[in-house]
Amino acid sequence: MAAWQQTVHSPEKEDWPGSQKGTHPVTSIPQYIFHMIQIFKKIARLFSYDIGIDLGTANTLVYIKDQGIVLREPSVVAMKGDKVKAVGEEAKRMVGRTPGSVVAIRPLKEGVIADFEVAHNMLRYFIKRACQSRSIRGPRILIAHPSGITEVERHAIEESAYEAGAIKVQLIEEPMAAAIGVGLPVTEPVGSMIVDIGGGTTEVAIISLSGIVYSQSEKCGGDALDETITRHMLAAHNLLVGPRTAEDIKIRVGSAHPLQQELQMEVKGRDRGTGLPKTVTVRSEEIREALQDKLDVIVSAIRQTLDHCPPELASDLYDRGITVAGGGALLRGLSDLLHEQTGLPIMISEDPLSAVAEGTGKYLQENDDVFEEE
């Protein structure tokens, strides 16, 4: 018998895992160590907590495992020099209204971090506010990101989270998180299609068996629609309006398809010629026409994704249709436009603004090994 296979008699010892009473084989020690490591990991989890974050260009949502969404704030930071004056909703109210010494910054642009320092300050504030000192250790964070970003941009998101106090960070692609959040059967051998129209990007993906079969990411979202409205007001009415006013126009009279009853509203701004305050009336028809180019980009992304759909999954999409999430899903007439352009059934998710955050939370709830070492 080889030396390493010999049985060591230890009647004075407690029983070791996998041994007979009073003895322990030397070969069981690695298994014993493995069990001890697992126990220490479980103890460590008691002093930490898991959160999912939808780090969006327009809004940031935080989901705490076993609790749900606990924070929903605009992704805006007001800075005075190198000092943070306000974050979130309070900072958003300052956009376009700040004195020269205070600057309102949106640290994410088109779904990626544009200002690293401001981004991790914002994340730290949101994490601290959401978690409220619930643990002596930092959180483990799952962050959703656009599917089309580069490795450098992925690394920037991870580093920003670590700088904000995370002890472990994992990433999940936004279309996958959105699909999970709206309840699509992503683990089943059937095709599901998700369109997530966020503030900075539009994510389109076909998903089957827990994987993304094909995805398309376009830097065209709610912010691009707002900027288009701002340019239209200047070109058509010689009126200067800010981003908050442009967003209000989109919400109140914006549409993607002719309405049964068209809408109108009064818009206040500054006349570019005279510099004086001015009020004009805008109608939903003209805003719809102004948005058409950007809507065409979204439709084109959906068509390209459908063109890459494997034949075996195409029949699933014909039956199941397309699910739309993200803030852009709330644009009037969008489902009519997409049905007209694709011929497929269109479903707007029940809570499109929360889909990605809910998806990160469900993923954490259903997978205990998200943060295990690879």
Q: Is residue 168 part of a domain?
A: yes
3 state SS of 371 = coil
Question: In Å, what is the CA distance from 166 to each residue of 159, 189, 339, 349, 361?
Answer: 9, 35, 42, 31, 17
Burial of 136 (0-12, 13-18, 19+ CB in 10 A): exposed
Q: Is residue 94 part of a domain?
A: yes
Answer yes or no: are the C-beta atoms of 136 and 95 closer than 8 Å.
no
Answer yes or no: are the C-beta atoms of 282 and 265 closer than 8 Å.
yes
Is residue 24's pLDDT more than 90? no
> Which residues, in sequence order, are CB contacts of 137 under 8 Å at separation 6+?
44, 47, 48, 167
Better-predicted residue by pLDDT, 368 or 38: 368
Q: Is residue 271 part of a domain?
A: no
Share of the chain above pLDDT 90, in %: 73
Q: Is residue 235 part of a domain?
A: no
- Residue 4: how many CB atoms within 10 A of its CB? 8
Full residue range of the structural domain in which residue 163 is found: 50-176+357-366
3 state SS of 7 = strand
Element (H, E) at 240: strand 239-240
Number of domains comprising the chain:
1
pLDDT at 49: 84
Query: Where does the pLDDT of residue 102 fall: very low under 50, low under 70, confident under 90, or very high at 90 and above?
Result: confident
Answer yes or no: are the C-beta atoms of 122 and 60 closer than 8 Å.
yes
Is residue 374's pLDDT more than 60? no
280-290: average pLDDT:
98
Q: How far apart are CA 176 and CA 205, in angstroms?
A: 8
Answer yes or no: are the C-beta atoms of 328 and 198 closer than 8 Å.
yes
Q: How far apart are CA 16 and CA 19, in angstroms?
A: 6
Question: In Å, what is the CA distance from 46 to each residue of 32, 169, 268?
Answer: 22, 18, 54
pLDDT at 18: 45
Of 80-94, 100-114, 125-139, 177-191, the poorest mean pLDDT is in: 125-139
Residue 357's DSSP bridge partners are none
Q: Is residue 99 part of a domain?
A: yes
3 state SS of 231 = helix
Q: Is residue 64 part of a domain?
A: yes
3 state SS of 66 = coil
Residue 168's DSSP bridge partners are 140
Query: Where does the pLDDT of residue 298 fall: very low under 50, low under 70, confident under 90, or very high at 90 and above?
Result: very high
Is residue 134's pLDDT more than 80? no
> The CATH number of the domain where 142 resides is what?
3.30.420.40
Answer yes or no: are the C-beta atoms of 56 and 79 closer than 8 Å.
no
Q: How far apart are CA 197 and CA 202, in angstroms?
A: 4
Query: Where does the pLDDT of residue 107 fall: very low under 50, low under 70, confident under 90, or very high at 90 and above?
Result: very high
Name the phi and psi angles at 105, rounded to 5: -120, 135
Q: Is residue 21 part of a domain?
A: no
Answer yes or no: are the C-beta atoms of 229 and 304 closer than 8 Å.
no
Better-predicted residue by pLDDT, 231 or 312: 231
Four-point Cα dihedral 123, 97, 114, 108, nearest 10: 50
Q: Is residue 333 part of a domain?
A: no
Average pLDDT of the chain? 88
Is residue 6's pLDDT more than 60? no
Counted residue by residue, the chain has a size of 374
Interhelix angle 355-366/174-182, nearest 10 degrees: 80
